[in-house]
A and B are shown apart, each in its own frame.
Chain A
Amino acid sequence: MDAITLTIDGAAVTVRRGATVLEAAQQAGIYIPTLCSDHDLEPYGGCRLCIVEIEKMAGLPTACTTPATSGMVVRTATPAVNEARRDIVALLLADYPDDCPACTGDDRCDFHQVVAYLGLDEQPFRRLHRSIPIDSSNPFFERDLDYCIACGKCVRTCDEVVNVDAIEMASRGYTILPSAFGGKPIVQSNCISCGECVVRCPTAALMPKERRLPAQEVKTTCPYCGVGCQIYLGVSDGQVISVRGDRDNDVNRGLLCVKGRFGVAGYVNHPERLTLPLVRKDGALRETTWDEALEMVAGRLAGFGKGEVAVISSAKCTNEDNYVIQKFARTVLGTNNIDHCARL
């Protein structure tokens, strides 16, 4: 690897050539506040919060757009830097409603993490209140632009990551905000509801409709298509309530589609899930005990000749399920009549 070494806050940091100052700091575990950068997006330099001092460079360059160079000396949190950051955040706060639904208990949204880092407690600017109708047209998420800080992350995600371009920054100056085509409800746009913008929004402007936070998360594999995206299932009170993409794998690198992100809990928790075995009695399926149901299957299957029985397995089931099912067909029923829907 072609590597270079620079100094950040007195520490020597070695990174690959081409990395930005922000990436170098993040790699070294040095916190630089930012609200518009994302590892899947091109450097943007929009929020201006990642400004730093760099020796032999004029002004306060943004760390996210400045390539790290050999021998560079960077200071990330000088009084001048933090004063400028406080002014920027104070301006954002002036527009931001007092309550933040994206902050729950100790778990602050990205924006309020920055506010806390900078230790802002006074509000020097006159408060302004926007009152834009909430767009709740999408079944899975809401957009409340009163909380939007115009970082452009959602628009850039839809463009650079998803390549759908359902939204763009509309208007100019103080009124610039993300908008679907013609300012229409988002569900009428070409939005594919993947939710990649929602997970990247640093404020409460884009929020899933399911707001509960999971008590624990379990890493597993998405049950829908053959891509095999790695996901974290969020669990609360014994129910699946959320899905989050896992970034540390080569399959999906955190990305998910609408089914994986929003379409799992609805069927896992569905009230029509079968909970008891059923047997047909007098023409109708009636609830029964496991003992009776399993005895019945075993007893009836035993009554047929080898060529008269067949087993249909499932491409939705696990490898372990499928192995046991084909072993059952071959060793107990004595037949190779075992197949699944591979051809469909």
Chain B
Amino acid sequence: MAGLATTFGSGAMTNSISDIGGARCILAIGTNTTEAHPVIGFGVKSAVRKGTKLIVANPRYIELCQFADIWLRHRPGSDVALLMGIMRVIVDEGLLDRAFIEERCENFDALEQSLTGFDMDFVERTTGVLGEQIAEAARMYATNSPAAILYSMGITQHSHGTDNVMAVANLAMLTGNVGKPSAGVNPLRGHNNVQGACDMGALPDVYPGYQRVADPQARAKFEAAWGCKLDPSPGLTLTELFGAARRGEVKAVYLVGENPVLTDPDARHVREALESLEFLAVQDVFLTETARLADVVLPGVSFAEKDGTFTNTERRVQRVRKAIEPVGSSRPDWRLTCDIARKMGGRGFDFSHPRQIMDEVASLTPSYGGISHDRLEAGGLQWPCPNKEHPGTSILHTERFTRGKGRFVPLEYKPPAETADENYPLLLTTGRSQYHFHATLTRKVSGLNALKPEELVEVNPVDALMLGISEGDRVRVTSRRGEVTARAMVTDASPAGVVSMTFHFSESPANLLTNPSLDPVAKIPELKVCAVRVEKIA
């Protein structure tokens, strides 16, 4: 998100799900859309049927490759080189949108300067993709307007993820593909409400609506509204937090609805961090691997038992409606947090229904200013929606960028934090299966477990031959941080030198292996690349 905030001024999907189908060209990079966002995947495939050009950039052979006009199989972690190579072709062949660049953007000279470092020889060597194929993709993207870019964690979960995002944004601005229907830069968010949790300020550096805690004006506004002094310094990110806990700096954690023991990188260290706490309270619907470590476990309710809202990947705030009574004596999360806050002397927690909470959100968050549960009865609203009369915003940056001018950012190629070496000769990349979601909820659904019962490590036939591994063999995957065992699936979906796993299975937790090395700006860990070795278990 930091990458888009730098270039555009707003870190959210620029366009809408319903207008992707109208694109003349779609570039899907770092997204396995049909597995991770199946319903958007349906839309992409249907668009291709109706004539939309599709470029897929992914090291793995994914379902969308069947539908692609061009498949760029670049090496894991070489996205910046690939995208800069595409931009170099667009500039060299004069396919850029000069009017848009002059009128709407700034700092183009610096980008152009940095493109000199990306001659086709270097790009070919770094990405492993043929120059002619890159040039063809560049021409296809640049000459079929409107063109939409879709991306997901395959772009962000790298030690240089912010650079990746800025490269994507550079490409869209270079061709004038921002601020109009069926174009744009469209990060597909993972969780149902990851967008909303960010919007609500469940982040260490911002209050609701991305108002910065370090900004004295913003802080004064929230101090006045909440009636207390607020800390001016940003807090720790989740990934930094576990280090602080291991060092004994953070001693108590109140954790709601997450299972970091399975979903966070370098899971062994996460577990150690949580075990070293003096106090851990966990609020969840199941006794998760994380909840088992807690001193107190508070049963929250599922989405079916509470009222509220989720904000989807296209910034659309939609209602969640209570369908059944809470199971057992479980209670809604907002109510539990309010109860604890009041017991600790907190003021401003006397809500009797989530609609009152949304009214407070609207009063303090300009982009949610016009949103209320009553209005959402008629259907979702896309922020920014600043007042009660505003219809919501389906496309961002139409007249001007949120930050004023779109800012080109010069980039250089940085290799992944870990590369293959003698001891760990393969790269591991992680992803999702459409039959599961993270590691907790879907594993409780017997039918989904029947369809995808266990982890399968995808190994390329070339590597399998060298390692003496056959389909179905049990293998041990070892990284610098840990080891897991699972059965092998021999497939050329993963390229030679790369193995692939999901992270849904506590029996074979891939995040014991993954690298917590962080992007310096966004603090996102490098889940998509780490060095491993794979051995057959005798």
Contacts and interface: CB of A to CB of B under 8 A. Distances in A.
A137 to B, nearest CB: 10
A224 to B, nearest CB: 5
A233 B302 CA distance: 13
A99 interface: no
Nearest to B290: A312
B333 A342 contact: no
A39 interface: no
B238 A343 contact: yes
A226 B190 contact: yes
A309 B254 contact: yes
Contacts of B238: 312, 339-341, 343-344
B72 to A, nearest CB: 21
B537 interface: no
A330 B231 contact: yes
A273 B493 CA distance: 37
Nearest to B303: A223
A233 B434 contact: no
Contacts of B304: 220, 233, 240, 264, 268
A279 B297 CA distance: 6
Contacts of A194: 38
B267 to A, nearest CB: 12
Nearest to A279: B296
A315 B444 contact: no
A81 interface: no
B447 A313 contact: no
Contact of B340 (A262, A268, A297): A297
Contacts of A7: none
A279 B303 CA distance: 24
A227 B17 contact: yes
A296 interface: yes
A19 B236 CA distance: 58
Contacts of B445: 262-263, 266-267
A205 interface: no
Main secondary structure of the interface of A (DSSP, over half): mixed
B251 A304 contact: yes
Contacts of B77: none
Contact of B434 (A160, A257, A294, A330): A257
Contact of B67 (A163, A298, A334): A163
Contacts of B318: 221, 228, 230, 251
Nearest to A223: B303
B264 interface: yes
A339 B204 contact: yes
Identify the interface centre among B192, B253, B295: most chain A CB within 10 Å of its CB: B192
Interface in B316-336: 316-325, 327-334, 336
A154 to B, nearest CB: 16
Interface stretch (B99-107, B135-143, B280-288): B280-288
B451 interface: yes
Interface stretch (A71-79, A86-94, A109-117, A318-326): A318-326
Contacts, number: 470
A193 interface: yes
Contact of A285 (B196, B228, B297): B297
A316 B191 contact: yes
A139 B201 CA distance: 40
Contacts of A342: 1, 194, 197-198, 203
Contact of A220 (B197, B230, B321, B441): B321
A140 interface: yes
Contacts of B325: 238
Given A290-B329, A312-B258, A339-B236, A278 B310 contact: no
Contacts of B307: 320
Given A276-B328, A285-B294, A321-B334, A339 B303 contact: no
Contact of A328 (B302, B316, B346, B446): B346
Identify the interface centre among A229, A279, A319: most chain B CB within 10 Å of its CB: A319
A280 B280 CA distance: 10
A305 to B, nearest CB: 8
A316 B460 CA distance: 35
Interface stretch (B176-184, B348-356, B397-405): B348-356
Nearest to B287: A274
Nearest to A161: B42
B5 interface: no
A82 interface: no
Given A227-B39, A276-B328, A267 B334 contact: no
A250 B16 contact: yes
A277 interface: yes
A277 B299 CA distance: 6
19 contacts: A220-B303, A233-B304, A249-B380, A251-B17, A251-B314, A259-B434, A274-B286, A285-B294, A313-B202, A315-B190, A316-B258, A318-B196, A318-B308, A320-B354, A321-B257, A324-B333, A336-B204, A341-B263, A344-B190
Given A230-B380, A333-B254, A342-B198, 9 more contacts: A220-B303, A221-B309, A259-B437, A298-B344, A308-B249, A311-B253, A312-B241, A320-B307, A325-B337
Interface of A: 139-140, 160-163, 187, 192-194, 218-230, 233, 235, 238-240, 248-252, 255-260, 262-264, 266-270, 272-280, 285, 290, 293-298, 300-302, 304, 306-344
Q: What are the 6 A-B residue pairs with the smallest beta carbon separation, nearest first?
A: A275-B328, A228-B312, A318-B308, A314-B257, A336-B235, A139-B447
